[in-house]
Structure 1
Amino acid sequence: MADLLFEVKDHIATITLNRPNQMNAFSEEMILNWIRALETVRDSDDIRAVIVKGNGKAFCAGGDVKAMTAGKGFFESETDITSTGLARKNSLWKRVQRIPLLLEEIDKPVIAQVNGFAFGAGLDMALMCDIRIVAESAKFSESYINVGIVPGDGGAYYLPKLVGIDQALDMLWTARVLTAAEAKEKGLVTFVVPDDELEQFTLDYVTKLANGPTTTLQFIKRAVYQSQKMDLRSSLDYISSAMAIVTELDDYKEGVAAVVEKRKAVFK
């Protein structure tokens, strides 16, 4: 079977990491298929929301350590085994680093459904998502230091934005393993749910988003992320432009009518 599964149903795309016997550690095939899946999500008007999850007992263990012992870098091509630093840098850029760059282009909600272990780059892949829904038994660690490498996929960018610089450095320097409750306390995850409710909770959450006013949801996401890089005046200018657009849409008219008529809105 493919190392990554991709399906679309009821306007929801599901990306499933599918190497359960390897705790869904990355392979070249997985990364390349992940890139193609995200390009489809970005370009498809039919897709309104995304779930990223792992098959089996783990979300993702990050890079494949066995590949490293075979003389390959974490994210290098299996056909391009080379010891040069430049080649390893380019391998990261052409493969795993494409994922956060593509996610930055996607205005649709992207939800991580995390079970089991989310370690190293696996944790970072969850951090790149907008919302993290995790099982009570899930475990989290920035484990790069254990094999003497740096967070090459963007963890040093995402982690301090969620937990603060000091907490991020502590996690990256010590590789301490956090429980789901500890991760929630640090602001690393959004929801913690019982293991047997994870699948349904996530589906219900994403279904609600997929049935919401699509353009408005996308504008809200972009406004939140863009405002982190703007001054107040620029942010207000951006959001007023978005308001001018969404108030001309049918979803706005339906939403107002539903409130006035005291019924549930039905968005297209």
Structure 2
Amino acid sequence: MSDLIFNVEDHIAKITLNRPDRLNAFSEEMIHLWIEALETVRDSDHIRAVLIRGNGKSFCAGGDIKEMIAGNGFYKSEDDLTSTGLARKNSLWKKVQRIPLLLEEIDQPVIAQMHGAAFGAGLDMALMCDIRIASEEIRLSESYVNVGLVPGDGAAYFLPRLVGKDRALDMLWTGKVIEAEEAKQMGLVTFVVPQDEIETFTDGYLQKIVNGPQQAIRLTKRAVYQSETMSLRSSLDMISSSMGLVTELEDYQQGVQAVMEKRKATFK
């Protein structure tokens, strides 16, 4: 079986990490397939939402330490110069770091469904998503420090934006394990649900997105993220442009008509 399964059904792209025997730790094949899947999502008008999840007992244990030691996986360079720091840096840039860069280009909502453990780069991949739905048994850790590594996959960028600099540094310096309720209070996850209800809850959430006004949803996501680096005037200027565009669309006409008729809108 492939280390990553990608399929699209009913406008939902599902990316399933598929190394359950290794708690879905990254392999080189997984990274390449993940990049290809995200490129497909980015370029698709048919896909309305993305779900990222893991097979087996856990969401993702991060990088595969055995492959790192062997010089394989996302530390393996094209010319096999694994003995040099520059080769390892370039390998990260060309491989695993392409994932957050591609996610930044995707306007469709991206949902992480998390269970078991999400450690190191596995946690970072969830932090890159828009919404994180976690089971009550979830365990989270920025575990890089345990093997003497820096957070090479985006934690230094994403984590402080979610929990603040002090809490981010605490997690990164200590490698502490965070459980579900604390993770929810910190803002690491969006929802916490019982493990036996997570599939139903996630499916229901995805259906709300899939059945919503697609251009309004995508432009709203773009506005939220881009406004983080904009002045107030620039943000308002951008959103007024989006407002001008969406009010020309059929979704807007349908929505207004539904409100007038006191019924739920149906979007195409």
Superposition TM-score tier, normalisation by shorter sequence:
over 0.9
> After superposition, what is the alpha-carbon deviation per residue over 1:123-179, rounded to whole angstroms, capped at 9, x for unaligned?
000000000000000100000000101111111000000000000000000000000
> After superposition, what is the alpha-carbon deviation per residue over 1:181-202, rounded to whole angstroms, capped at 9, x for unaligned?
1111111110000000111111
The Cα shift of 1:264 comes to 1.3
The residue identity in structure 1 corresponding to 2:128 is M
CA distance in 1, matches of 2:223, 2:71: 44
Partner of 1:134: 134
The residue identity in structure 2 corresponding to 1:9 is E
1:207 aligns with 2:226: no
Q: What SS class does the counterpart of residue 229 from structure 2 fall into? A: coil
The residue identity in structure 2 corresponding to 1:29 is E
Q: What SS class does the counterpart of residue 58 from structure 1 fall into? A: coil
CA distance in 2, matches of 1:259, 1:79: 61
CA distance in 2, matches of 1:162, 1:156: 11
Contact 1:28 1:78 (C-alpha < 8 Å) held by counterparts: no
Partner of 2:261: 261
Equivalences for 1:42-191 in 2 at 5 Å? Answer: 42-72=42-72, 75-76=75-76, 80=80, 82-191=82-191
**Could you list the runs of 5+ residues in structure 1 that have no partner in the other structure?**
none
Contact 1:160 1:168 (C-alpha < 8 Å) held by counterparts: yes
Partner of 1:218: 218
- Number of equivalences: 268
Contact 2:53 2:114 (C-alpha < 8 Å) held by counterparts: yes
CA distance in 1, matches of 2:77, 2:199: 33
Partner of 1:39: 39
The Cα shift of 1:54 comes to 0.3
The Cα shift of 1:98 comes to 0.3
Equivalences for 1:7-46 in 2 at 5 Å? Answer: 7-46=7-46
State the identity as a percent: 71
The Cα shift of 1:263 comes to 1.2
Q: What SS class does the counterpart of residue 228 from structure 1 fall into? A: helix
CA distance in 2, matches of 1:69, 1:30: 18
> After superposition, what is the alpha-carbon deviation per residue over 1:106-135, rounded to whole angstroms, capped at 9, x for unaligned?
011000000100000000000000000000
CA distance in 1, matches of 2:197, 2:256: 34
Partner of 1:242: 242
The residue identity in structure 2 corresponding to 1:11 is H
Give RMSD over aligned pairs. Answer: 1.2
CA distance in 2, matches of 1:3, 1:130: 24
Contact 2:27 2:73 (C-alpha < 8 Å) held by counterparts: no
CA distance in 2, matches of 1:157, 1:218: 22
Q: What SS class does the counterpart of residue 44 from structure 1 fall into? A: coil
Contact 1:113 1:132 (C-alpha < 8 Å) held by counterparts: yes
Contact 1:63 1:75 (C-alpha < 8 Å) held by counterparts: no
What TM-score do you get using the length of structure 1 for normalisation? 0.98
CA distance in 1, matches of 2:233, 2:67: 49
